């Protein structure tokens, strides 16, 4: 790979992905694009049958696709059983951040005297690293970040600009935290005396596993007593709120605007769609998928796909249905009385 020009031959791509190449292996490409938008120096991909209609007219140098669609491809093709996974790998090869990892500590950064730094650590402008912090090898702390006292960030992790890591937080290896996220802020804990609220000190922490990624402006609150725990390889989208003492199992994924109330446990390999809300103190089994905008108020103890709410419809129809919804309880009682009469009761 020519790192400066960021070009690859199709043969190099095929070798890297383990794909079957049909076409000129010496053809060089410099990026990725959709089937519709790709130019002759780019690779496109087909992972969803909904876009099959765009394949005949593509101008891409090559298309990453499943073997079943190879014959219909008008240009060179790279065949893989899982083309979307191949696209993920290829996207990293063309990532403009590759090879541009900063190094050293910017003169404007504020770093406490007792901070422990591994090899090849980078600390950006105006970052603040408080006392007792450990930054392992190859950690990157972006501009304007704050890392609170006694926090520990594992090797190869990257904090984009303006991330806040509060005191005592533990982050595993190769984590990626996007701008504006806050890890380890106080949980929402208050006691009421009948007239006013009294704050409960949040004495726990937050522990993130390895290979976690957290989107911009998401918040993970510290535990009230024990820790809030996010497992390995968990992927969290932007504007997600995770409350105190929540636990999320390995390899789960949360889409944007998910909200999880305190002390709920989400299993491994779970998927929560955009806007899903989980009430507090619930248990969600391994392998559960909750579709977007669903509200979960009871534990889910079996794997599967779960939904709530209604999809969008014509407003007039929705208003009629809303009126009928209010009548359901009365209709159920009347139906019960009719059934009793029918049984001679």
Q: What is the 3-state secondary structure (H, E, C) of the chain?
A: CECCCCEEEHHHHHHHHCCEEECCCCCEECEECCCCCCCCCEEEECCCHHHHHHCCCCCCCEEEECHHHHHHCCCEEEECCCHHHHHHHHHHHCCCCCCCCCCEECCCCEECCCCEECCCCEECCCCEECCCCEECCCCEECCCCEECCCCEECCCCEECCCCEECCCCEECCCCEECCCCEEEECCCCEEECCCCEEECCCCCCEEECCCCEECCCCEEECCCCCCEEECCCCEECCCCEECCCCEECCCCEECCCCEECCCCEECCCCEECCCCEECCCCEECCCEEECCCCEECCCECCCEEECCCCCCCCHHHHHHHHHHHHHHHHHHHHHHHHHHHHCCC
What is the predicted pLDDT for the residue at 47? 93
Q: What is the pLDDT of residues 31-40, one digit of tens each?
A: 999 999 999 9
Mean pLDDT of the 96-114 span: 84
What is the predicted pLDDT for the residue at 102? 74
Band (pLDDT 50/70/90 cuts) for residue 4 is very low
> What's the CA gap between 83 and 87, in Å, rounded?
6
Band (pLDDT 50/70/90 cuts) for residue 309 is confident
Mean pLDDT of the 218-225 span: 97
Lowest mean pLDDT segment, chosen from 98-107, 219-228, 245-254? 98-107
Residue environment code for 95-129, b if the CB has 16+ CB neighbours within 10 A, otherwise e: eeeeeeeeeebeeebebeeebebeeebbbbebbbb
Query: Which of the residue ranges 86-100, 256-270, 303-317 has the most confident prediction, judged by mean pLDDT?
Result: 256-270
Q: What is the pLDDT of residues 123-153, one digit of tens each?
A: 999 999 999 999 999 999 999 999 999 999 9
Fold of the CATH domain 8-93: 3.40.1390
Q: Give percent of the chain with pLDDT exceeding 90.
A: 90
How many CB atoms neighbour CB 213 within 10 A?
17
Give the position of tokens 């950006």: 124
Q: Are 101 and 122 in contact (CB under 8 A)?
A: yes
> What's the CA gap between 282 and 190, in Å, rounded?
20
Residue 92 vs residue 291, higher pLDDT: 291
What is the predicted pLDDT for the residue at 100? 60
Q: Are 217 and 239 in contact (CB under 8 A)?
A: yes
Domain boundaries, the chain: 8-93, 106-306, 316-345
> What's the CA gap between 236 and 255, in Å, rounded?
6
69 among known catalytic residues = no
- Taking CA atoms, 273 is separated from 4, 18, 85, 157, in Å, by 39, 31, 20, 26
Q: What is the pLDDT of residues 270-299, one digit of tens each?
A: 999 999 999 999 999 999 999 999 999 999
Residue 99 has pLDDT above 70, yes or no: no
> So what CATH class is 106-306?
mainly beta
Residue 179 has pLDDT above 80, yes or no: yes
What is the predicted pLDDT for the residue at 98? 62
Q: What is the pLDDT of residues 312-337, one digit of tens each?
A: 899 999 999 999 989 999 999 999 99
Residue 340 vs residue 39, higher pLDDT: 39
Phi/psi for 277 (5° steps) reads -120, 130
Residue 91 has pLDDT above 60, yes or no: yes
What is the predicted pLDDT for the residue at 114? 97
What is the predicted pLDDT for the residue at 3? 41
What is the predicted pLDDT for the residue at 1? 39
Residue 319 vs residue 340, higher pLDDT: 319
Measured in residues, the chain has a length of 345
Of 56, 58, 62, 53, nearest in space to 83 by CA: 62
Mean pLDDT of the 290-313 span: 94
Q: Kindly report whether the global pTM for this prediction surpasses the value 0.85.
A: yes
Given the residues 167, 244, 251, 281, select the one marked as catalytic: 244
What is the predicted pLDDT for the residue at 207? 98
Q: pLDDT averaged over the chain?
A: 94
Q: Are 262 and 187 in contact (CB under 8 A)?
A: yes
Q: Is the dihedral of CA 72, 76, 80, 82 positive or negative?
A: negative
Residue 213 has pLDDT above 90, yes or no: yes
């Amino acid at each position: 790979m020519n790192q400066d020009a960021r070009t690859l031959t199709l043969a190099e791509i095929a070798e890297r992905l383990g794909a079957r190449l049909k076409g000129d292996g010496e053809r060089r490409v410099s990026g990725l694009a959709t089937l519709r938008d790709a130019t002759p120096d780019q690779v496109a991909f087909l992972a969803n049958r909904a876009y099959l209609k765009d394949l005949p007219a593509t101008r891409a140098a090559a298309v990453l696709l499943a073997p079943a669609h190879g014959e219909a491809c008008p240009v060179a093709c790279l065949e893989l059983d899982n083309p979307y996974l191949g696209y993920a790998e290829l996207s990293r090869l063309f990532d403009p951040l590759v090879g541009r990892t900063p190094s050293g500590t910017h003169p404007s950064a504020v770093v406490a005297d007792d901070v422990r730094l591994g090899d090849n650590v980078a600390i950006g402008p105006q970052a603040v690293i408080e006392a007792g912090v450990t930054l392992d090898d190859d950690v990157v702390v972006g501009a304007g970040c704050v890392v609170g006292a006694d926090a520990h960030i594992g090797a190869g992790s990257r904090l984009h600009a303006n991330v806040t890591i509060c005191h005592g937080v533990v982050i595993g290896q190769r984590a990626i935290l996007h701008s504006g996220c806050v890890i380890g802020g106080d949980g929402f804990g208050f006691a009421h005396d009948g007239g006013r609220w009294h704050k409960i000190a949040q004495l726990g922490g937050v522990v993130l596993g390895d290979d976690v990624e957290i989107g911009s402006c998401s918040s993970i609150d510290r535990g009230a007593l024990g820790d809030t725990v996010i497992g390995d390889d968990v992927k969290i989208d932007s504007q997600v709120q995770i409350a105190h003492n929540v636990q999320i199992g390995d390899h789960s994924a949360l889409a944007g605007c998910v909200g999880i109330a305190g002390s709920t446990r989400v299993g491994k390999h779970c998927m929560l769609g955009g806007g899903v809300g989980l009430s507090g103190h619930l248990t969600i089994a391994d392998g559960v998928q909750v579709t977007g905008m669903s509200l979960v108020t009871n534990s889910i103890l079996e794997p599967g796909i779960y939904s709530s709410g209604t999809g969008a419809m014509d407003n007039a129809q929705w208003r009629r249905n809303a009126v009928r919804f209010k009548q359901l309880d009365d209709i159920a009682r009347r139906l019960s009385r009719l059934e009793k009469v029918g049984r001679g009761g």
